[in-house]
């Protein structure tokens, strides 16, 4: 066996090294030594993850590391693991998102009753990230399935993290039962693919499917597969867990759940459709047409009537997932660029909102939208930053959200889905309404008992700085889109 | 008598249907978990039967082994969550899990 092929999976290995370092640090830094714990809580994971991110993107940005460029287009283990430049970009984006989530979690983990459990949070989160890495780079359904489960099993433990809270336990139960159900259905779909083609390698399936003898079986496999992955992205017929899991989970976990796992799954959906289901892409498009229409519309309708902010963000996330899948339609290179770019922009805006929700929850314990009445009077700067993020989510022009939606619509339009783009446009206007409801609560509505003024900690400020920079700059600086675009061909 | 692939497929399809029915109708979380195991095992039967009767190589068997291991891990964590719920509510019926709604 050629052991040097392990070097092609350098991002996974370096992430594994980060996990092991954190694990050992968690073991040997005892609780009563306060100085040691201070390092473990946020600086150590963030610094390690930053180094890991730099290591990941080194072959992309720096020609000096061209020796590592074999990593950009390589197959290991007979095609089980496929690494591509685009996958590396997605991994780097997920890394940045995870760093911001860690910054969100700092205040929550600092509480006295959490001190014993700090290390576990970081390790579990990074294990789900590792699962997503494998999922993104999979070239075989077995690798994909293992990655998917590695991403969703530790996630359950994270959702149930507040052990004494009934909401947390209930959210975890709902999450794990639906996750198991959908992964069971997907497994059945994969078995049908295996039965008709006799192979599970992504590249080999499509030519064997072309003979068309078992097209009905193939379509059944497609439907079951979309059921499994649609659960991860929380598209509408499979979205029922989303709102409950988002509301019950601790806020730092919710922000991770809303962006990172969703983005990885959307990328994988594109890859599998592009490689495996290419012969029946027309049937897939019919399916996706209705999934997207229902995701965007239903989520918008339900979001209007929410009062809990985390639940509201859940429906907003379902609706955004609908837009994210818009790029999957037609499976064009432009669609892939649009998906990755949308993911980057959505991450900046959504994590920004969650940072503010989290720090407000920690300082005042308030989570309802009606609690945010008069927020501008007491905390003007946070209210302003939240407004920027919400504007970006809604897609108002100067902010990045507008550009990401624009490229997404353009990709779908070029692929020929004009009616769908029209429906999505109408829904953008509806979504503007409910995002503005929060802005209205913060700026206009009077409140006798508003949230008291508070100072946020340095980690939250740093995270917010990153998010706001993303929201403002990613759209205006066209380098980001052009940079992602150059990797989208050939996949 | 020659046992063809049809018998296996009918069995696994029946198990899939029974599992889905159980998932939607059962009220006890453990019963729901058992229904899900039926679905997973239906897929495993499919893999093994396809590999034995239609395809060459051992890809299907290997996939079955991995899927059994993964579903065991999932079941373990699901039962951990349910024990946690049982401690708080003193039962594990899904009707009681209604604090998060709409």
pLDDT value at residue A208: 82
In 3-state terms chain B splits into helix, strand, coil percentages (rounded to 5) of 80, 0, 20
* Reported confidence tier of residue A453, pLDDT bands at 50, 70, 90: confident
Range of the domain at A102: 3-485
Task: Give phi and psi for A375, each to the nearest 5.
Answer: -60, -30
Decide if A491 is inside a domain.
no
Q: Minimal Cα distance from B38: which residue of A?
A: A184
pLDDT at residue A28 tops 90? no
Of A136, A5, A148, the residue nearest A74 (C-alpha) = A5
**Contact call for B46 and A191, based on CB within 8 A:** yes
B67 → closest Cβ in A176, A187, A305: A187
Q: Given this model, what pLDDT does residue A491 score?
A: 62
Of A145, A174, A200, Cβ closest to residue B59: A200
Tell me the count of A-B CB pairs closer than 8 A: 126
| Token digits of residue B68 | 């059994």
What was the pLDDT predicted at A490? 59
Determine phi and psi for A253, rounding to 5 degrees: -70, -40
Report chain A residues touching chain B, CB-CB < 8 A: 141-142, 145-146, 149, 153, 156-157, 160, 163, 166-167, 169-174, 176-177, 179-181, 183-185, 187-188, 190-192, 194-195, 198-200, 243-244, 247-248, 305
Bridge partner residues of A81 (DSSP): A76, A138
The set of residues, in sequence order, having a beta carbon less than 8 Å from that of A39 and lying 6+ positions away, is: A25, A29
Give which of B28, B43, B57 to mutate to test A binding, by max A Cβ within 10 Å: B43
**Ranges of chain B whose pLDDT falls below 50:** none
3-class DSSP assignment, residue A75: strand
Alpha helices in A327-456 (DSSP H): 333-364, 375-378, 380-394, 400-414, 418-443
Least confident piece of the model among A61-75, A196-210, A366-380: A61-75
Determine whether the interchain pair B63/A141 forms a contact, defined as Cβ–Cβ distance below 8 Å. yes
Residue A121 resides in a domain:
yes
Which pTM value belongs to this model?
0.92
On chain B, the residues whose CB falls within 8 A of the CB of A172 are 81, 84
Q: What is the per-residue pLDDT for B66?
A: 94
Q: Is residue A490 part of a domain?
A: no
**Residue A114: predicted pLDDT:** 79
Domain assignment present for residue A270? The answer is: yes
Q: Distance between CA A274 and CA A488 in Å, rounded? A: 12
In sequence order, the 6+-apart residues with CB closer than 8 A to the CB of A179 are A152, A155, A156, A231, A241, B74
List CB contacts of A272: < 8 A, sequence separation 6 or more: A144, A202, A225, A229
How close is the nearest chain B Cα to the Cα of A381, in Å?
32
For position A71, what pLDDT does the model report? 60
Average pLDDT of span A374-393: 90
> Is A12 domain-assigned?
yes
Does residue A330 form part of some domain? yes
- The pLDDT mean for chain A works out to 86
Nearest Cα to A121, choosing from A263, A250, A314, A262?
Answer: A250
**Helices A10-28 and A34-41: angle between axes, nearest 10 degrees:** 160
How confident is the model over A215-237, as a mean pLDDT?
Answer: 88
A364 inside domain: yes
- CA distance to partner chain A, nearest, from residue B91 (Å): 13
Q: Which chain B residues are within 8 Å of A187, Cβ to Cβ?
A: 39-40, 43-44, 67
Would you call B60 and A194 a contact, using CB atoms and an 8 Å cutoff? yes
Interface test with A, best of B21, B77, B101 (most A CBs within 10 A): B77
The string of pLDDT tens digits covering residues A466-483 is: 999 999 888 888 888 888
* Residue range A153-197, pLDDT digits in tens: 999 999 998 888 888 989 999 999 999 999 999 999 999 989 888
Q: Is the pLDDT of residue A203 over 90?
A: no
A423 is a domain residue: yes
**Nearest chain B alpha carbon to A307:** B102
Q: With 70 as the cut, is the pLDDT of residue A37 above it?
A: no
Q: How far is A195 from chain B (nearest CA, A)?
A: 5
State the best of A144, A169, A192, A224 to mutate against chain B, taking most chain B CBs within 10 Å: A169
The alpha carbon dihedral of A288, A294, A297, A301 has a sign of: negative
State phi, psi for A285 to the nearest 5 degrees. -65, -35
- Asked which of A186-195, A214-223, A285-294 is least confident by mean pLDDT, the reply is A214-223
ipTM of model over 0.90: yes
Residues A476-485 as b/e (b if ≥16 CB within 10 A, e otherwise) read: eeeebbeebb
Residues of A in contact with B40 (CB under 8 A): 180, 184, 187
Between A8 and A233, whose confidence is greater?
A: A233
The tally of domains found in chain A comes to 1
Q: Do B39 and A194 touch (CB under 8 A)?
A: no
* Tens digits of residue pLDDT in A402-444: 999 999 999 999 888 899 999 999 999 889 998 998 898 888 8
Position A68 pLDDT exceeds 70: no
Which residue of chain B has the CA closest to A200?
A: B59
DSSP H helical segments within A198-250, as ranges? 202-209, 215-233, 240-248
- Substitution target in A188, A197, A214, A225 with the highest count of B β-carbons within 10 Å is A188
Contacts of B82 in chain A (CB under 8 A): 173
Which residues of chain A does B13 touch, with a Cβ-Cβ cutoff of 8 Å? none
Domains recognised in chain B with CATH numbers: 5-91 (1.10.287.3510)
> Chain B residue with minimal CA distance to A311?
B102
What are the angstrom distances between the C-alpha of A472 and each of A295, A382, A411, B74? 27, 16, 23, 41
Would you state the pLDDT for residue A31?
58
């Amino acid at each position: 066996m050629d052991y040097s092929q392990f070097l092609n999976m350098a991002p996974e290995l370096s992430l594994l090294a980060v996990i092991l370092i954190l694990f050992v640090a968690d073991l040997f830094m005892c609780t009563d030594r306060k100085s040691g714990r201070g390092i473990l809580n946020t600086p150590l994971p963030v610094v390690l993850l930053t180094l890991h991110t730099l290591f990941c993107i080194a072959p992309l940005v720096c020609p000096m590391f061209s020796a590592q460029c074999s990593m950009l287009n390589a197959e290991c283990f007979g095609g089980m693991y496929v690494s591509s430049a685009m996958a590396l970009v997605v991994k780097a984006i997920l890394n940045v998102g995870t760093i911001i989530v860690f910054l969100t979690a700092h205040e929550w983990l600092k509480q006295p009753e959490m001190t014993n459990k700090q290390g576990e949070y970081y390790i579990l989160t990074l294990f789900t990230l590792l699962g997503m890495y494998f999922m993104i780079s999979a070239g075989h359904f077995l690798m994909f399935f293992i990655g998917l489960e590695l991403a969703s099993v530790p996630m359950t433990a994270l959702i149930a993290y507040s052990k004494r809270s009934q909401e947390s336990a209930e959210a975890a139960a709902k999450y794990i039962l639906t996750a198991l159900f959908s992964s069971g259905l997907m497994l059945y779909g994969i078995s049908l693919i295996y039965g008709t083609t006799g192979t599970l390698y992504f590249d080999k399936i499509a030519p064997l499917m072309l003979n068309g003898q078992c097209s009905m079986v193939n379509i059944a496999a497609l439907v079951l597969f979309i059921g499994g992955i649609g659960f991860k992205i929380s598209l509408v017929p499979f979205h029922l867990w989303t709102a409950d899991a988002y509301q019950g989970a601790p806020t730092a976990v919710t922000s991770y759940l809303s962006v990172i796992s969703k983005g990885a799954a959307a990328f994988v959906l594109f890859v599998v459709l592009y490689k495996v289901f290419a012969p029946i892409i027309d049937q897939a498009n019919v399916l996706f047409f209705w999934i997207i229409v229902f995701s965007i519309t239903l989520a918008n309708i339900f979001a209007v009537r929410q009062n809990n902010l985390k639940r509201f963000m859940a429906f907003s996330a379902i609706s955004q997932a609908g837009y994210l899948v818009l790029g999957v339609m037609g499976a064009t290179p432009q669609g892939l660029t649009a998906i990755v770019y949308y993911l980057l922009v959505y991450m900046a805006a959504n994590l920004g909102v969650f940072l503010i929700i989290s720090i407000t929850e920690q300082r005042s314990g308030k989570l309802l939208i009606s609690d945010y009445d008069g927020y501008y009077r007491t905390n003007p700067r946070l209210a302003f930053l939240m407004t920027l993020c919400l504007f970006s989510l809604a897609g108002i022009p100067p902010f990045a959200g507008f550009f990401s939606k624009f490229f997404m619509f353009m990709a779908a339009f070029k692929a020929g889905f004009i009616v769908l783009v029209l429906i999505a446009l109408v829904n953008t206007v509806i979504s503007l309404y409910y995002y503005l409801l929060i802005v209205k609560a913060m700026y206009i509505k009077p409140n006798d008992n508003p949230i008291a003024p508070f100072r946020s900690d340095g980690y939250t400020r740093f995270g917010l700085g990153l998010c706001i920079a993303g929201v403002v700059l990613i759209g205006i600086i066209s380098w980001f889109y052009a940079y992602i675009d150059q990797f989208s061909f050939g996949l | 008598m020659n046992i063809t692939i049809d018998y296996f497929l009918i069995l696994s399809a029946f198990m899939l249907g029974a599992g889905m029915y159980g998932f939607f109708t059962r009220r006890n979380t453990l019963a729901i978990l058992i229904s899900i195991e039926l679905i997973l095992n239906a897929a495993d039967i499919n893999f093994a039967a396809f590999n034995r009767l239609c395809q060459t190589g051992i890809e299907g068997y290997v996939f079955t082994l991995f899927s059994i291991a993964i579903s065991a891990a999932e079941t373990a964590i699901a039962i951990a969550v349910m024990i946690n719920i049982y401690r708080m509510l003193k039962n594990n019926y899904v009707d009681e899990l209604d604090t998060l709604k709409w």
